Amino acid sequence: MLDQLQALPADPILGLAAAARADTRAEKVDLTVGIYMNEQGICPVFDAVRDAQAALAADETTKAYLPAAGVADFNTGMQELLLGADHVALQDKRVSSVSAPGGCGALRIGAEIIHAAAPGATVWVSDPTWPVHLPLLGSVGLQFSSYRYYDPSSHGVNFDAMVEDLKQAGAGDVVLLHGCCHNPCGADLTLEQWGVVADMAAAQGFLPFIDIAYQGMGDGLDADAAGLRLLAERLPEMIVAGSCSKNMGLYRERTGVTLFICRDRDNAQALVSQALVAARRIYSMPPAHGALIAGRILADAQLGEAWRTELLQMCERINGLRSTLRQKLESACDRDFAFIEKEKGMFSFLGLSAEQAVRLREEYAVYMLNSSRINVAGVNAGNIDYLAESVAAVL
């Protein structure tokens, strides 16, 4: 039976990252996978994470399963981190959540809930969006439509086109929104534009589904969640998929949360029961280690302050890289790259053709996706001049 199965092509991003790792050229620059790298090209461990992990190892007395919904400190801490401790939805006790295996697991649980409520519902996704959104949500049985989002000519959000497309979304539909630091384009909605989306959702009846994987890596923890919080104030219900992979560096620990903002407390608890049944048939019980670490950081004032300081430093470095990269590219290419400095988070389209991206890989050992999407955090003082010179050469 099994010998009938054929080998499938590698994931386009992970496959390209593997090719970069195998490249032995000393000048190699890898801007493929969305992982934060420091100046030494290493994905660092936060000091706050090390301290929380050491305390966990000293205190831990069992490896028994967690409660099905996950670690209480983690769930409470993530609700407050995403919404703000004083948010009206929390005060009204109409918020609930479950721990999930990373942001991907959180998205999948959200998709399961949507399918249970409206089998075969249509999910509106931005063009472009993170490619994994489609298999994660589509494998449940949900359908897709796209709304225009990124304008390559202006390197910004084509909000008029987005609004025009979303006028077609109605009751029973879901609109998937990137909470901040849009992956892959880095172009985010303004708070005023979030307000327009909230008004549309209230009038048309569609359900917002927010994927927020980069909170704290754009303008700061509160600013990056401002749009999400605005929607949660104005709308009776929405779903949020959160992750600690990026803002705590817990990539391999698979630490995520699915958050439900509901009409009332009873509905919020009903959603948890639905989520736990879905989780039971997918992965049974939530992973513990990352959630226990994150829960300690979020519940402990000293650890939390240390983490926030480290995260702010990371955010400031990314924004500084954007400014420097813009200057280096404009100097090397005599072309306007101001958009790089305006975007948020780790990603940006450089505006190159697929042929130019291939040339960069083959001739200069500079690895980026064919769309010219780069991980800005893969840039450092040691490679930025070579990167700019290489881009200039293919332009």
Question: What is the model's pLDDT at position 149?
Answer: 98
Question: What is the model's pLDDT at position 385?
Answer: 97
Does 153 score more than 90 pLDDT? yes
Residue 337 sits in a domain whose CATH number is 3.90.1150.10
Question: What is the model's pLDDT at position 11?
Answer: 86
Average pLDDT over residues 92-110: 97
Q: Rounded distance, CA 31 to CA 18, Å? A: 12
Instruction: Indicate whether 169 and 253 sit together in one domain.
Output: yes
Instruction: Indicate whether 39 and 116 sit together in one domain.
Output: no
Question: What is the model's pLDDT at position 96?
Answer: 98
At residue 371 the predicted structure's pLDDT band, cuts being 50, 70 and 90, is: very high
Q: How buried is 161 (Cβ within 10 angstroms: 0-12 exposed, 13-18 middle, 19+ buried)?
A: middle
Does 120 score more than 90 pLDDT? no
CA dihedral of residues 343, 344, 348, 349 (deg, nearest 10) = -40
Question: What is the model's pLDDT at position 249?
Answer: 97
Instruction: Indicate whether 235 and 295 sit together in one domain.
Output: yes
Question: What is the model's pLDDT at position 315?
Answer: 96
Instruction: Indicate whether 194 and 325 sit together in one domain.
Output: no
Q: Rounded distance, CA 35 to CA 186, Å? A: 15
At residue 10 the predicted structure's pLDDT band, cuts being 50, 70 and 90, is: confident
Residue 274 C-alpha from the chain's centroid: 24
Instruction: Indicate whether 101 and 9 sit together in one domain.
Output: no
Nearest residue to 207 (alpha-carbon basis) of 178, 170, 167 = 170
Sign of CA dihedral 102, 106, 109, 115: negative
Question: What is the model's pLDDT at position 352?
Answer: 96
Instruction: Indicate whether 265 and 366 sit together in one domain.
Output: no
For residue 54, being part of any structural domain is answered with no
Question: β-strand 122-127 against 143-148: which pairing, if any?
Answer: parallel
Instruction: Indicate whether 72 and 157 sit together in one domain.
Output: yes
Residue 354 C-alpha from the chain's centroid: 25
Instruction: Indicate whether 118 and 37 sit together in one domain.
Output: no
Q: Among residues 252, 274, 299, which one ends one of the domains?
A: 299
Average pLDDT over residues 340-358: 96
Q: Structural domain tally of the chain?
A: 2
Instruction: Indicate whether 241 and 276 sit together in one domain.
Output: yes
**Whole-number percent of the chain with pLDDT over 70:** 100
Does 148 score more than 90 pLDDT? yes
Q: Rounded distance, CA 253 to CA 157, Å? A: 33
For residue 141, being part of any structural domain is answered with yes
Structure tokens given for 122 = 């249509």
CB of 258 closer than 8 Å to CB of 103: no
At residue 334 the predicted structure's pLDDT band, cuts being 50, 70 and 90, is: confident
Residue 72 C-alpha from the chain's centroid: 23
- Which residues have a Cβ under 8 Å from the Cβ of 138 and sit 6 or more positions away? 144
**What is the domain range of residue 172?**
65-299
Instruction: Indicate whether 246 and 389 sit together in one domain.
Output: no
Q: Among residues 269, 299, 329, which one ends one of the domains?
A: 299
Q: Among residues 237, 265, 299, which one ends one of the domains?
A: 299
Question: What is the model's pLDDT at position 219?
Answer: 96
Instruction: Indicate whether 121 and 264 sit together in one domain.
Output: yes
For residue 215, being part of any structural domain is answered with yes
Instruction: Indicate whether 165 and 196 sit together in one domain.
Output: yes
Question: What is the model's pLDDT at position 137?
Answer: 95
In tens, the pLDDT along 44-86 reads 999 999 999 999 999 999 999 999 999 999 999 999 999 999 9
- List C-alpha distances in Å: 368 to 354, 364, 383: 10, 11, 14
For residue 109, being part of any structural domain is answered with yes
Q: Rounded distance, CA 340 to CA 372, Å? A: 13
Average pLDDT over residues 114-138: 95
Residue 108 sits in a domain whose CATH number is 3.40.640.10
In tens, the pLDDT along 161-199 reads 999 999 999 999 999 999 999 999 999 999 999 999 999
At residue 9 the predicted structure's pLDDT band, cuts being 50, 70 and 90, is: confident
Q: Which residues are catalytic?
A: 130, 211, 246
For residue 323, being part of any structural domain is answered with yes
For residue 58, being part of any structural domain is answered with no
Q: What are phi and psi of 96, to 5 degrees?
A: -140, 165
For residue 51, being part of any structural domain is answered with no
In tens, the pLDDT along 199-250 reads 999 999 999 999 999 999 999 999 999 999 999 999 999 999 999 999 999 9
CB of 248 closer than 8 Å to CB of 49: yes
For residue 357, being part of any structural domain is answered with yes
Average per-residue pLDDT in the chain?
Answer: 96
